[in-house]
Amino acid sequence: MISEKMQKALNDQINAEFFSAYLYLAMAAYFEEKNLPGFAHWMEVQYEEETMHAMKMYRYVVDRGGRAQFKAIEEPQKDWDSPLAAFEATYEHEQYITSRINDLMKLASELSDFTTQSFLKWYLDEQVEEEANVDEIVQSFHLMGNDSRGLFMLDRELKLRQASPDPTAP
């Protein structure tokens, strides 16, 4: 059985994961408007991953005998100054999510909730990958500067991204 304190914290994180999905879908719409279909596709895949992260956490709460409780999802930002600004915002957001996962791990440790610590290990590892992937894109922007050919090439590269397998699938 999951403690009420851990259940509440995980429910808050479920909301944060769904907000992340919503934010990345808003970014996809921004990139579609800018005629950058590869960037939009990358964000759509990110949306799917964040939804999967929320559902994995939802399933964990339910499987531990808890109850998932949902709150309103905050409206995401709709526009960015540039594609680079959108990816810099993505990087900052992933760092924020990492800090939230770290806080969950600290709470699980304080509560001697070893099962939740084990569960959260996957999220810690996932966040390392998330931050590295976005940072690589931000660094690509810095390398290409204002070269529109570089933007075109990066857009084509990001269109190749494939969704990660669902860790909740049997």
pLDDT tens across 58-82, in order?
Answer: 999 999 999 999 999 999 999 999 9
Quick one: pLDDT at residue 10? 98
Q: Dihedral (C-alpha) 78, 81, 82, 83: value to the nearest 10 degrees?
A: -30
Quick one: pLDDT at residue 163? 77
Contacts with 35 (C-beta within 8 Å, 6 or more apart), sequence order: none
Question: What mean pLDDT is reported for the chain?
Answer: 94
Q: Are 29 and 46 in contact (CB under 8 A)?
A: no
108: buried, middle or exposed (CB in 10 Å: 19+, 13-18, 0-12)?
buried
Top pLDDT among 169 and 51 is at 51
Q: CB atoms < 10 A from the CB of 148, how many?
A: 8
State the CATH class of domain 4-70+78-158: mainly alpha
Top pLDDT among 40 and 148 is at 40
Quick one: pLDDT at residue 147? 86
CA distance 68 to 52: 15
DSSP tag of 82: S
Element (H, E) at 124: helix 114-144
Domain boundaries, the chain: 4-70+78-158
Quick one: pLDDT at residue 33? 97
Residue 8: pLDDT over 70: yes
